[in-house]
Amino acid sequence: MAELLLELLSEEIPARMQARGAEDLKRLVCDGLKKAGLEFGAAQAFVTPRRLVLVVDGLPEKVPDISEERRGPRADAPEQAVAGFKGSLPEGTIIETRETDKGNFYFAQIEQKGPSVRDIIFASLPDFVGKLQWQKSMRWGSSGLRWVRPIRSIIYIFNGKSFDGFLNDRGFGSLELLKDKNLAPGNIPVGNITIGHRFLSPGQIIVTDFTDYKAKLEAAHVILDAAERRAKIEAGAAALAEEAGFKLKNDPGLLDEVAGLVEWPVVHMGAIDEAFMGLPDEVLTTSMRKHQKYFAVVDERDILAPHFIVVANTETTDGGKLVVAGNERVLRARLSDAKFFWDKDHEDRLDSRVQELGGRVFHAKLGTVLDKVMRVEQLVVVLAEGCGAKSADAERAAHLAKADLSTGMVTEFPDLQGIMGRYYALADGENPDIANAIAEHYSPQGPFDTCPTAPVSVAVALADKIDTLAGFWSIDEKPTGSRDPYALRRAALGVIRLILENKLRLSLLGVFGQVDLEFDGADLLAFFADRLKVHLRDQGVPHDHIDAVFALGGEDDLVRLLARITALGEFLKTEDGGNLLVAYRRAANILRIEEKKDGKTYNENPSTDLLQSGEEEALYEKLMHVGPKIAAAIEAEEFADAMRELASVREDVDAFFDTVTVNVDDAELRKNRLNMLSYVRRCLEEVADFSKLEGGDT
């Protein structure tokens, strides 16, 4: 079996695009192999800042030869038919006439050698390279080829043999086609040559297979596996921190990113000037993490230590002293700016900055950020009591929530909006609940973000998100397809999480009516319903349970809605629940067929005068007894009790179907029994629309 080795060597690929690029290359090649009918063993993709690599094991060397006999037209067939048959055959095919029990026919014996797998893959390589989709791509030189960064060379080795040629925007070519072997710009060399680390081992490396390739790269200061680079960075950083009496701050996202910035990680520790340690931790970590890609170090109490970890991409003769000194100098300059803004911002109270928001546009059709703040202030007063917050505190927090957008610190570090507002509010003597609400009102910003639980924080976060959604609904800027430029789906999920995780009893339609904007509240509620379905499906709730409760309509209390869905799910797990679902399906099918045939709907209560059998009477009495109890339990939001009452009907329904014939000749009796089935259906549909459940209707 053969091995395929492919390397695309380029200029530095952005770290955030690397993993996706490697997986896309693997997918494109593997899909191409499957489409060609080629089986293979394992396929592994690797990525460094400068190269995408794919190795595929267990490939056949060639496609099996084809040997087949094909019968053509009769020997006396028209000349055009005979010519068409001969033209469809591979060149060199032996053709003969042969007598059969149906006459003389042409026969062709086709012997066709299977093509080389090396050639099949090679012919597809331009597609594999050209079809890689990047978030951003570029052209370079005279080539029309678009890629994330300029490609410098390609390794293509199959079964130990390379192809020596070039690639351009027109495809691959052999070096033999070029009189001048010095490739012009726009022609990418293809063969068995790569290079190692840009600074430590820049010379050319000739490779024969993947094992040889990986070993020679490591000798040339390139660790091919991103997971190995990540582990080396983490271990080195942790060791340096421990040596200094501290520990590395956990930051898996930064570890992944830095592993995508270096091919040969070398870890160093630097110091932070004590003059800057009075700055908020978030300012220090943002300056280090976001701008410089430094790791933070903390003490045993998880308090930020005056040190940082920097990962270099090269080794130095002085043990990294110049590297550390240079990074300390850069960080000092950044933190000097931060300290200036920190001191300057404290010269004015946070509430004095609110009016400045009038000069900051929120949206051209929705006014300024100050306009939004004023709407949120009005709405949060409505929401405060339901969230358990003091109205005055919630209103004050909403008033100050966006004020830090006018500060120098947030202008310099936009990621700190809300966080800095909390610090400035506390410095001004504001209530801590109000200050915390300023920091938390943007949360949750996704399915895994921490959801606020403090009453004031919850009220302001809800008001802010609902105002945003209502605003964009009022100007008809709704998400369409995959397009959601204002992150409205995320805002709706935030509202859903705030309500469900804090068990808030809110009428969403009632809240929508308090927003000082004109929009279709029912349409926005439908949007929430769709997002709630997605949210619950992600948590493992069956989609048909969700649909069965949503189909009842008119529900805008998410906590009550979820309780009903949960109770339905528990009920359907029981034997009674499963049997009642079968009974519902049987009753619904009979009714649908008979109503269609009769051209009328049966929805009256059955008449006691027409009950003939004991089973009919027992079912009627049970329904008359249970029906009001189910309605009362639902009204009291005791959904589990409603399900238990529903379960008690099961035996009587089974007995009815076992002994009673619905479609009898007596028209009045038939009508009464159809009304009995309709009453059964209505009782069940008090709880949920059973027709939406899988198996609920056919």
CATH number at residue 131: 3.30.70
Quote the CA–CA distance of 53 and 208 in Å, as a whole number: 14
**Residue 698 pLDDT:** 43
Q: Is residue 553 part of a domain?
A: no
The β-bridge partners of 194 are 205
State how far Cα 46 lies from the chain centre.
Answer: 23
**Do 146 and 48 fall into the same domain?**
yes
Q: Is residue 130 part of a domain?
A: yes
**Do 156 and 293 fall into the same domain?**
no
Backbone angles phi, psi at 137, to 5 degrees: -135, 170
The residues, any chain, with a CB within 8 Å of residue 542's CB and separated by 6 or more, are 569, 694
**Residue 537 pLDDT:** 87
Which of 190, 219, 248 is the last residue before a domain boundary? 219
**Residue 415 pLDDT:** 92
**Residue 180 pLDDT:** 53
pLDDT one-digit tens code per residue, 663-679: 888 889 999 889 888 88
* Both tokens assigned to 59: 């490939």
Quote the CA–CA distance of 605 and 607 in Å, as a whole number: 7
The residues, any chain, with a CB within 8 Å of residue 453's CB and separated by 6 or more, are 501, 502
Q: Per the structure, how many domains does the chain have?
A: 5
Helix residue spans in 401-520 (DSSP H): 408-412, 419-427, 432-440, 455-474, 488-501, 508-512
**Do 46 and 141 fall into the same domain?**
yes
**Do 140 and 88 fall into the same domain?**
no
Q: Is residue 680 part of a domain?
A: yes
**Do 179 and 310 fall into the same domain?**
no
Q: Is residue 546 part of a domain?
A: no
Which of 312, 345, 378 is the last residue before a domain boundary? 345
Quote the CA–CA distance of 671 and 608 in Å, as a whole number: 13
Q: Are 16 and 59 in contact (CB under 8 A)?
A: no
Quote the CA–CA distance of 361 and 414 in Å, as a whole number: 16
The β-bridge partners of 98 are 105
Give the amino acid at 541.
V
Whether the full predicted model's pTM is greater than 0.75, yes or no, is yes
Q: Is residue 319 part of a domain?
A: yes
Quote the CA–CA distance of 671 and 673 in Å, as a whole number: 6
Q: At what angle do helices 650-659 and 614-635 cross, to 10 degrees?
A: 150
Which of 178, 202, 219 is the last residue before a domain boundary? 219
pLDDT one-digit tens code per residue, 89-142: 877 788 888 888 888 999 888 776 777 888 888 888 888 888 888 988 998 877
Q: Is residue 552 part of a domain?
A: no
DSSP 53-81: EEEEEEE-SBPPPEEEEEEEEETTS-HHH
Quote the CA–CA distance of 559 and 26 in Å, as a whole number: 45
Q: Is residue 561 part of a domain?
A: no
With tokens 């060149």, the residue in question is 91
Quote the CA–CA distance of 304 and 309 in Å, as a whole number: 13
* Both tokens assigned to 151: 């490609």
**Do 362 and 321 fall into the same domain?**
no
Quote the CA–CA distance of 13 and 259 in Å, as a whole number: 12
DSSP 20-46: HHHHHHHHHHHHHHHHTT---S-EEEE
Q: At what angle do helices 639-647 and 614-635 cross, to 10 degrees?
A: 180
**Do 427 and 505 fall into the same domain?**
yes
Residue ranges of the chain with pLDDT lower than 70? 65-66, 112, 175-186, 695-698
Quote the CA–CA distance of 599 and 98 in Å, as a whole number: 69
Number of other residues whose CB lies within 10 A of the CB of residue 508: 20
In this structure, the dihedral spanned by the alpha carbons of residues 346, 347, 349 and 353, taken in order and rounded to 10 degrees, is -100
SS3 content of the chain, % helix, strand, coil (to 5): 50, 15, 30
**Closest by CA position to 417, among listed 369, 378, 487, 375:** 369
**Do 384 and 451 fall into the same domain?**
yes
In this structure, the dihedral spanned by the alpha carbons of residues 400, 402, 405 and 407, taken in order and rounded to 10 degrees, is 10
Domain that holds residue 259: 226-345
**Residue 634 pLDDT:** 87
**Do 289 and 301 fall into the same domain?**
yes
Query: Given phi > 0 = left and psi -120 to 50 = alpha, else beta, which region is 602?
Result: beta
**Do 89 and 124 fall into the same domain?**
no
**Closest by CA position to 314, among listed 265, 376, 365:** 265
Task: Tell me whether residue 672 is exposed, middle or buried, using C-beta atoms within 10 angstroms of its C-beta: 0 to 12, 13 to 18, 19 or more.
Answer: buried
Quote the CA–CA distance of 176 and 240 in Å, as a whole number: 54
Q: What's 396's domain CATH number?
A: 1.10.3210
**Do 437 and 463 fall into the same domain?**
yes
**Residue 588 pLDDT:** 84
**Closest by CA position to 492, among listed 438, 533, 551:** 533
Quote the CA–CA distance of 50 and 635 in Å, as a whole number: 65
Q: Is residue 548 part of a domain?
A: no
State how far Cα 644 lies from the chain centre.
Answer: 39
Q: What's 619's domain CATH number?
A: 1.10.730.10
With tokens 């084809």, the residue in question is 66
**Do 162 and 54 fall into the same domain?**
yes
Number of other residues whose CB lies within 10 A of the CB of residue 607: 14
